[in-house]
Structure 1
Amino acid sequence: MQMKNIADSWNSMLYDQNHSFVSKFGESIVELLAPQVGERVLDLGCGTGDLAKQIADLGSQVIGVDQSDNMITEAKRKYPHIPFKVEDARSLSYEREFDAVFSNAALHWIQAPEEVLSSIHKALIPGGRLVAEFGGKDNVKQIVDALLLQFQRNGIEDGANRIPWYFPSIGEYTTLMEETGFHVSFAQHFARPTPLEGKDGLRNWLNMFGDSFFKGLTDRERDQLITDTENHLRPTMFQNGQWLADYKRIRVVGVKE
């Protein structure tokens, strides 16, 4: 359920095998969407298509889009009866076509929120709704802080510039929604500690979602940075044989005015 502003480095098989929690937690967002029979729904940042499948099963006409070719290829393989396309959230090719735009764990990957919201607004019919969940202020802050500390200790000065995400406060994001032309009918910021599967859960998470941190580094440097980060966080984040990531999420519902 992710979209990146960088070259496609997503491993769709690893995503499904070790990070299925993304779709699992997204099920409650489908409930918030409450898709109706016959509605046209755009799943923005659809990943490998699991939530698009759930929406389609409820009777809506869903199209899934993602910026990752790898994700879209896997989504088409898994669910050939659902249309999936490679699209950039900042410049969607739709105008007044959807009753709802749904997005789970994708919008924090795009550091141009005004462009994304404008593109979503354009794709919706008047009265259509945006229903989204994504990383909010202080999402994975402990992990990022620990990793940046290891960068600093190893003389890598540009660590903060490698952060790939946009994690806004609820006030910041809802203000942008209103400025774009949405009536914000629901907004929530909450903590959701998230288990990472297995003893290598944090390492797998960093390899899957933190790839941009390690651009230009050798495999040995990458491995050492991750090992040092694990050692730093283990006393507080590794509990009962499992890593627990410090997720903070935003959920919003906005209606196109």
Structure 2
Amino acid sequence: MAETVKADSWNASLYDSKHAFVSQYGEDLVKLLAPQQGESILDLGCGTGDLANNLHQIGVHIIGIDKSENMVQQAQNKYPDIIFNVEDAVSLPFTNEFDAVFSNATLHWVKEPKPALQGIYHALKQGGRFVAEFGGKGNVQTITDEIINQLRIYGIDFRSGQFPWYYPSIGEYAALMEQVGFRVTLAQHYDRPTPLEGENGLRNWIEMFAFSMFEGLSAETKALIMNRVEKALKEVLYQNGQWHADYKRIRVVGVKE
């Protein structure tokens, strides 16, 4: 994610066409949120706006925010009646405004979790709730370990700063929530193997989400590494004619008391 369209690596159209599962899985999280008509809710990391629109349809006063201008632009084009803004999760500009902050598949991109949680806490009204799901400890580790392995076999030095995600344990994340003032009422860590669409499902996933792991490589070298990753993982992650990503998710609920 990046601040400007020019530097924004997110392909909003690819996201909508090949990775609709992100929003579809988020529908279960909406049930946990249990939104009520008339509530004011912030969708943190709204992507291209599908879940924000679901909330809008049931009469919620929704604001969607995302760090990616490409995603916000796509969301605004799809759902012109909803407010979408470009905001960074670590510097949220809200104080006591929302009955709930909802976040699906976003907070693993935020490598400074405590400032984000402080901003979420401040954004909520007293008694407000924070409901989130994102990648937890061990998420897609089979895929990322193999990418790093193939880069090293090819003689390319992989820097830890190129790893784009923050995948905490529930103990680590729940403790951070408590430090900023939340009462943690739910914390789960669970496996959720996720089917990836099409014969190129793994490659499309890597292109969409793991682009920073190939930083500085030529298109030719990147293609070669991806081919080797696919070949190495075929026996492990390709079953019954479909790729599956080894997702491990965290789901949390916190209350501002």
Q: CA contact under 8 A between 1:4 and 1:109: conserved in structure 2?
A: no
Deviation, 1:242, is: 0.7
Residue 153 of structure 1 pairs with residue 153 of structure 2: yes
Deviation, 1:161, is: 3.3
C-alpha distance in structure 1 between counterparts of 2:127 and 2:117, whole Å: 15
Residue 47 of structure 1 pairs with residue 47 of structure 2: yes
Letter in 1 for 2:35: P
Tell me what 1:109 maps to: 109
What are structure 2's unaligned runs of at least 5 residues? none
C-alpha distance in structure 2 between counterparts of 1:250 and 1:5, whole Å: 27
CA deviations on 1:139-197 (whole Å, 9 max, x unpaired) are: 00000111111011011122543110000000000000000100001111100000000
Q: CA contact under 8 A between 2:12 and 2:71: conserved in structure 1?
A: yes
Deviation, 1:241, is: 1.1
Deviation, 1:124, is: 0.5
Residue 177 of structure 1 pairs with residue 195 of structure 2: no
SS at match of 1:173: helix
SS at match of 2:212: helix
Q: CA contact under 8 A between 1:95 and 1:122: conserved in structure 2?
A: yes
Residue 58 of structure 1 pairs with residue 55 of structure 2: no
Tell me what 2:206 maps to: 206
C-alpha distance in structure 1 between counterparts of 2:60 and 2:146, whole Å: 43
Tell me what 2:99 maps to: 99
* Percentage identity across paired residues of the two chains: 56
Letter in 2 for 1:179: Q
Letter in 2 for 1:147: I
Tell me what 1:190 maps to: 190
CA deviations on 1:38-58 (whole Å, 9 max, x unpaired) are: 100000000000000111112
Letter in 2 for 1:18: K
Residue 9 of structure 1 pairs with residue 16 of structure 2: no
C-alpha distance in structure 1 between counterparts of 2:44 and 2:120, whole Å: 9
C-alpha distance in structure 2 between counterparts of 1:171 and 1:47, whole Å: 27
SS at match of 1:204: helix
Letter in 1 for 2:96: R
Tell me what 2:224 maps to: 224
C-alpha distance in structure 2 between counterparts of 1:179 and 1:110, whole Å: 17
Count of aligned positions? 255
CA deviations on 1:192-243 (whole Å, 9 max, x unpaired) are: 0000001100000000001101111100011011110000000111111110
Q: CA contact under 8 A between 1:67 and 1:88: conserved in structure 2?
A: yes
Letter in 2 for 1:146: E
Q: CA contact under 8 A between 1:138 and 1:167: conserved in structure 2?
A: yes
C-alpha distance in structure 2 between counterparts of 1:4 and 1:239, whole Å: 35
Deviation, 1:30, is: 0.5
Q: CA contact under 8 A between 2:148 and 2:158: conserved in structure 1?
A: no
Q: CA contact under 8 A between 1:139 and 1:248: conserved in structure 2?
A: yes
Question: Which 10-residue stretch deviates more, 155-164 or 11-20?
Answer: 155-164
Tell me what 2:125 maps to: 125
Q: CA contact under 8 A between 2:3 and 2:69: conserved in structure 1?
A: no
Letter in 1 for 2:132: A
Q: CA contact under 8 A between 2:3 and 2:68: conserved in structure 1?
A: no
Q: CA contact under 8 A between 2:65 and 2:86: conserved in structure 1?
A: yes
SS at match of 2:134: strand
What are structure 1's unaligned runs of at least 5 residues? none
C-alpha distance in structure 2 between counterparts of 1:53 and 1:161, whole Å: 35
SS at match of 2:114: helix
State TM-score, norm by structure 1: 0.97
Q: CA contact under 8 A between 1:47 and 1:72: conserved in structure 2?
A: yes
Letter in 1 for 2:148: L
C-alpha distance in structure 1 between counterparts of 2:252 and 2:3, whole Å: 22
Alpha-carbon RMSD across the aligned residues, in angstroms, is: 1.2
C-alpha distance in structure 1 between counterparts of 2:191 and 2:220, whole Å: 34
Question: Which 10-residue stretch deviates more, 54-63 or 152-161?
Answer: 152-161
